[in-house]
Every structure is written in C-alpha cells, then in structure tokens.
Amino acid sequence: MSADTMPGPLSAVPLRPRSVARRRVVDRLVTSLAWLAAAFGVFIMGWIVVTVVGRGIGAINWAFFTQSPPAGADLGGGLGPCIVGTIVLTGFAAVIGIPIGFFGAVYLSEFGRTGRIATAIRTITNVVLGVPSIIAGLFAYAILVKPLHHYSGFAGSVALAFIMLPVMTRAAEDVLNLVPNELRESALAMGAPRWRATLGVIVRSARAGLITSTILAVVRVAGETAPLLFTALSSPYWLNGLFGPSGFFGGPVANLTKTIYDYSTSPYQHLQQLAWGGALVIIVAVLGTNVLVRLVFQRGK
C-alpha cells in the first residue's frame, strides 16, 4: 500500500467511527455464550462425578482392592483381579502403542513432513482415530482370537494399542510441531546428524509435552470396554503367569470395564454395588491422572 492510497487523518474522505456501544454489546453476548457452554460442560461432568462417587463410595474398602469377586450369589469380595488386570492390559497396550506412536510422530514431524508418505500416514491416523472402539476389538479378534482359538489378555492389549496408537501419534506430532524451526536449524548448523539433532535437541526440548501426550494416551484407553468384549473378555480370577488358562497369553483376563458392564446388568444388588465401586476407581484414576499431568507439566505455559 503506498502512501497516497492510505486514508490518513488529512484524507478528503471523512472517517466515520464505528459504534462503541454496539461493539460492547456484541462482546458481552459472545463472552456470555462461551461462558454458558463451558459451564454446561462442567455441570454435566460434575453430575457424573457426584453420581458415581455417591453410589460407589459404599463399595470401597480394603476387601474391594484385595479380594476376588464373589462366586454366585455370595456376598463380600472385591474387584482386586480386575484392577490388576486393567493395569496389565493397559500397560502392555502402552508397550506396543506408545513407542510406535512416538516414532511415527517423530517421522511425521521431522522427516516426512509434507511428503506423500507422511500425508498418507496422517490421513490413515485420522481415520483410525475415528474408528469406533468396538472395531478395534473385532480387529484383534480376527487376527488373534480366531486363529488361536482362544480369548486372551494379549488380544485385549492389542485392541487397546490399536486405539492408543493414533491418539499418541497425533498428540506427539502436535507437540513436536511446536518446537521452533530455529532450534532444528541450530542443531543441524552445529554439524549434528539428523537423528542426533532430533533425539538430542528436538525431542528433548519437547519432553514435557511428550510425557503429557504419553500419559494421556495411556489413560485414554484405560476406560475402554468395547475393545475387550471379544478379546480379553473378563474373568473372576487373578491373572496367573503367561501361558496357562489364566495367563496373559492363555485366556481371558479380569478387567474393570468389562466387569462393570457385566455386574451393572446383574440382578444382584451387591454385584451392582461392586460395579459402582469399579466405576469410581476408574473415574478417579483417569480424572486424577489427567488433572495431575496437566498440573505438573503445563505449569507456566
């Protein structure tokens, strides 16, 4: 724009000011709408938490964490095996999903970038991200349960990893993309090979965000039920070894979500009570981890 087309104060065309009052009203309106939407979300969340705590707190005692579910119509017992099982299933899913997701993200943000392969991977990741979680269960069923002729915790972990993978890839890529290009250039300008600049400088500078992404991706699948329906199923027994009938690779593995699903539809009052307790444990673990991670890693950002 050159000086003579710019409407300055000396311009022949008078400048009409816009209405300040009108802008103020619009500003108020938009602010209140945003506030209302946020408040509604918090309200629903609060309602769920209050309900789950109210109904579940009665089930929480020492036995709940240490004992197996009661047989038949017996009273007492707990969800100990389910808690252990959920931790193991989720942990093993993380062992598969997190490294692949991490290196995938590193590839996308540092090497593939806008290339054709990277674009394809990104598209696939987005598609998988939108796949209903029950499809992940069916997938693991088709590749592991059907050919091996038995359910297993391993198949459950694979299904969970299938959901975790795109979540991790996307989140980690977003974090890596926040690293300024100047840092990349500085590392390479020192004569560092590409991989060394990537791992030693770029990943390192994004580490807080990457840890956050990892934890959130893991926690994200901890509450999944559908992927376990045809894979890990559930079981009232403690996980025992690897290949036996109650081993990780050998048979169904107890877990919280599927047990909640089963018990909440049971006619027995005390099983329903245990289901509420299980829901409380999951919600506290998931919400607690989320809040904690954000507090620890996003401070000062």
Partner 1 sequence: MTETTTDRSAAVAPRIEVATGQRAVEFDALPSKLSVRGLDFFYGKEQALFGNTLEIKEKRVTAIIGPSGCGKSTHIRTFNRIYELYRNQRATGEIWFDGRNILASGTDLLDLRRRIGMIFQKPSPFPMTVFDNIAYGLRLHFKLSRSELADHVEDALKRAALWDEVKHKLKEPGLALSGGQQQRLSIARAIAAEPEVILMDEPCSAIDPVATAKIEELIAQLSSAYTIVIVTHNMQQAARVSDYTAFFFEGRIVEAGLTTQIFENPQRKQTEDYITGRFS
Residue 217 is encoded by which pair of tokens? Answer: 């991706």
Tell me whether residue 187 or residue 279 sits nearer to partner 1 (CB atom).
187
Provide the minimum distance between the beta carbon of 110 and partner 1 in the complex, in angstroms, as a whole number.
10
Helices (H), the chain: 20-56, 62-66, 80-106, 116-129, 133-140, 146-148, 153-177, 181-189, 194-197, 203-205, 207-222, 256-264, 269-297
Q: Does 115 bind partner 1 (CB under 8 A)?
A: yes
Task: Give the residue with the Cβ less far from partner 1, 91 or 200.
Answer: 200
Binding mask 63-102 for partner 1 (x = CB under 8 A): ----------------------------------------
Over the window 148 to 187, marking each residue x when it contacts partner 1 by CB under 8 A and - when it does not, the resulting string is: --------------------------------xxxxxxxx
Residue selected from 84, 96, 128, 188 as contacting partner 1 according to rule CB under 8 A: 188
Site for partner 1 in 192-211 (CB under 8 A): 192-193, 196, 200-201, 204-205, 207
Q: By the 8 A CB rule, do 228 and 258 touch?
A: yes
In whole angstroms, what is the distance from residue 157 CA to residue 175 CA? 26
**How many residues make contact with partner 1 (CB under 8 A)?**
23
Site for partner 1 in 232-261 (CB under 8 A): none
Choose which of 24, 28, 113, 146 interacts with partner 1 (CB under 8 A): 113
| Tokens coding 63 | 């036995």
Closest to 97 measured CA to CA, from 134, 128, 130 = 128
CA-based end-to-end distance of the chain? 37
d(CA 163, CA 285): 19
Q: What residue ranges bind partner 1 (CB under 8 A)?
A: 113-115, 180-193, 196, 200-201, 204-205, 207
